[in-house]
Amino acid sequence: MSVSKTLCKLEEVPDGGATAVQVDSSSGGFSLILLRRGERVFAYHNECPHAGRRLDWAPGRFLIEAGSLICAAHGAMFSIESGRCHAGPCLGAGLVAVRVDVADGEVRLP
């Protein structure tokens, strides 16, 4: 039997944009960044490898420019598809990816 967990509806993630969802867990939970490209969704922990800050400038609001996700704290730029930092203070580091599935119009943890 599947134990997948629904995070949100696909339509709640703006196409070409991003949102954040809170994942509850017994250890207090964590925030996930969901980035959407059409029917594909990329997910990363909402914690910057530079100084450990959230990347959003307000809850669920992210800076995205020219195919990059930009940390609102100090401007590190990350590839949306790989999470790799290609400019800024944590150059070469990366966001921690989380696998998510898109099925039946929902974004789910497998």
The Cβ-side half-sphere exposure at 92, using a 13 Å CA radius, reads 0
Binder to ligand FES among 9, 61, 74, 86 (CB under 6 A)?
Answer: 74
Q: Which stretch binds ligand FES (CB under 6 A): 26-34, 36-44, 50-58, 95-103?
A: 50-58
Q: Which stretch binds ligand FES (CB under 6 A): 10-18, 24-32, 67-75, 98-106?
A: 67-75
What is the closest distance, in whole angstroms, from the C-beta atom of residue 50 to ligand FES in the complex?
Answer: 3
The Cα–Cα gap between 108 and 104 comes to 10
Q: Is the Cβ–Cβ distance between 20 and 41 less than 8 Å?
A: no
What is the DSSP code string of 36-92?
A: EETTEEEEEES--TTTS--S-SBTTB-EEETTEEE-TTT--EEETTT-BEEESTTTT
Q: Which stretch binds ligand FES (CB under 6 A): 15-23, 26-34, 37-45, 47-55?
A: 47-55
Under the criterion CB under 6 A, does residue 70 sit at the interface with ligand FES? Answer: no
Residues near ligand FES (CB under 6 A): 48, 50-51, 53, 71, 73-76, 88-89
